A = this chain, B = another copy of it.
């Protein structure tokens, strides 16, 4: 624990933010750099897309440019910052929510679907964002801004809008996480072993057993749609109540 803000941490944070905002000034002297932080991040993204986040090591990323691992440290302070740049890279295009309609429900739904698409295209994203350091770059803020712009139409207090944004973003993140769990384990043998154990201890888990025989664990059709519908209904109820009160 005990990670207070000493001066070294703060300097690291400053350079990390400068990197995310692309505010690093290029030097004039010396050999021309053969890379940029952005190109490195893109290479790391392609590596993660094909081989998973664990395959993103300094050595392997540098290898894509036929460079030594340490060469990367001329462009990026460390691996944590590289992962941040990877996240920023795949959020490059800010979502245009107006295509879905003018009401906030359609727009926030569109936002969720776009975010879901990104998570599907880059399954490592959920793991990468779990490594925290919540230093958001401009692309990440752009996505946030798009969602908040839609939620302004709700007429709710700004703090509520923010909370709702977090709920929607969290909903997508959770589904992406669940999909990670699911794809990894869901094979014949796992079902057999788990089913056998559960059947043997069925008396300890009566509701769970009933849920299983009721088909509650059959693959769901549209989990994102379901969760989103519940959530937006709840928000609508809040709006109605506020307008009444």
Contact = CB atoms under 8 A, between A and B. Distances in A.
B220 A230 contact: no
A25 interface: no
A65 interface: no
A223 B163 contact: yes
A: interface residue count bin: 35 or more
17 contacts: A4-B187, A17-B197, A132-B181, A133-B184, A135-B185, A141-B198, A145-B207, A145-B208, A158-B215, A159-B215, A159-B218, A159-B220, A163-B223, A163-B227, A166-B174, A167-B171, A234-B234
Interface stretch (A33-41, A110-118, A188-196): A188-196
Nearest to A240: B233
Interface of A: 1, 3-5, 10, 13-14, 17, 21, 50-52, 126-127, 130, 132-135, 138, 141-142, 144-146, 148-149, 152, 157-164, 166-167, 170-171, 173-175, 177-178, 180-182, 184-185, 187-190, 193-194, 197-198, 201, 204-208, 210-211, 214-218, 220, 223, 226-227, 229-238
A207 B5 contact: no
B234 A230 contact: yes
Contacts of A14: 193
A138 to B, nearest CB: 7
Nearest to A130: B130
Given A13-B189, A208-B144, A1 B52 contact: yes
Given A159-B216, A214-B158, A207 B166 contact: no
